[in-house]
Amino acid sequence: MDKMTSLDGRWIELKDRAIFRITGPDRVRYLNGQVTNDVAGPLDERAITACVCSLKGKVEFLIWISAFGDCLFVDGQLDQRDELFERLDRYLIADDCEIEDVTGQWKLIHHFEKGLSGVHSRRTGTIGFDFFCETLPDLPEAKRIAGEEFNEEQWRALIPASPWEITGNEFPAELGIADWTVDFHKGCYLGQEIISRIKSVGTVKRTLILVTAETKLVQDSIVRTDDGFEGRITRALKTSEEKKFYGFCLMKLSSKNALPVDLQRVKRVTPAEMHI
């Protein structure tokens, strides 16, 4: 029996997403050469998450990709809409496909009801479903997920975002997302050589973790955990819990104290050692 969660049967319209539709016979080949995950794999039952990286292998955009009939849908952060479109369009040269910005024309529903349409998609710690539509279907208002609640579900799953954790200076492994956004067996894409080299070496100089403290955390402050790790707060996070403060932290690592990347790691910050 499936484990029941507070999200079971609920839904949200993701209004903060820029949506692009890619059509044409070369759409899969083209996009596969731009992103870290394998677009050529079966997308009829699942969406994939991928990074769009620079030539140096550093993450510029975190996107989701879905197949819908004879087209591909790509969605990214709404506040990166223009930059993401320009980045994708820049390398569309000889491929027989077209990128169309359909933000506002198509709606993206993410839900947790197995009886509804959609493909499996990981946007929180619980696997849900993505469903694209031009007209919002008749969904129970009582089951709608509030935006702040959904945001909390996302950060508890350590899903990074721009401009806080994703600044164009971080590798997928540093953000702790390489295991589910990078296919290390696929063909070439921008930044592949460096990303593959990091995988073969097996170490990074820092990693994204979730920290908690009994006093307020401040963005860009330097903190230390109880076990001596030091890092920088990338984002102070709102929580429904009282007298408990969370933050994303890029934690410094070394060969002597390197931690394995764990998407669910939570470390407590020692208030006396916080530099704010």
**Separation between Cα atoms, residue 155 and residue 111, nearest integer Å:** 17
Q: Give me the pLDDT at residue 276, please.
A: 29
Query: Which residues of the chain are in CATH 3.30.70.1400 domains?
Result: 11-156
Alpha carbon 160 to its chain's center: 6
β-bridge partners, 99:
22
* pTM (2 d.p.): 0.90
Tokens of 175: 């953000």
Query: Which residues of the chain are in CATH 2.40.30 domains?
Result: 203-273
Q: Give me the pLDDT at residue 226, please.
A: 77
Q: What is the CATH number of domain 11-156?
A: 3.30.70.1400
Q: What is the CATH number of domain 203-273?
A: 2.40.30
**Separation between Cα atoms, residue 122 and residue 13, nearest integer Å:** 15
The answer to whether the beta carbons of residues 237 and 247 sit under 8 Å apart is yes
Mean residue pLDDT across the chain: 88
Evaluate the CA torsion angle 86, 91, 94, 96 in order and state its sign. negative
Residue-wise pLDDT tens digits, 50-87 = 999 999 999 999 999 999 889 999 999 999 999 999 99
Q: What average pLDDT score do residues 179-202 get?
A: 90
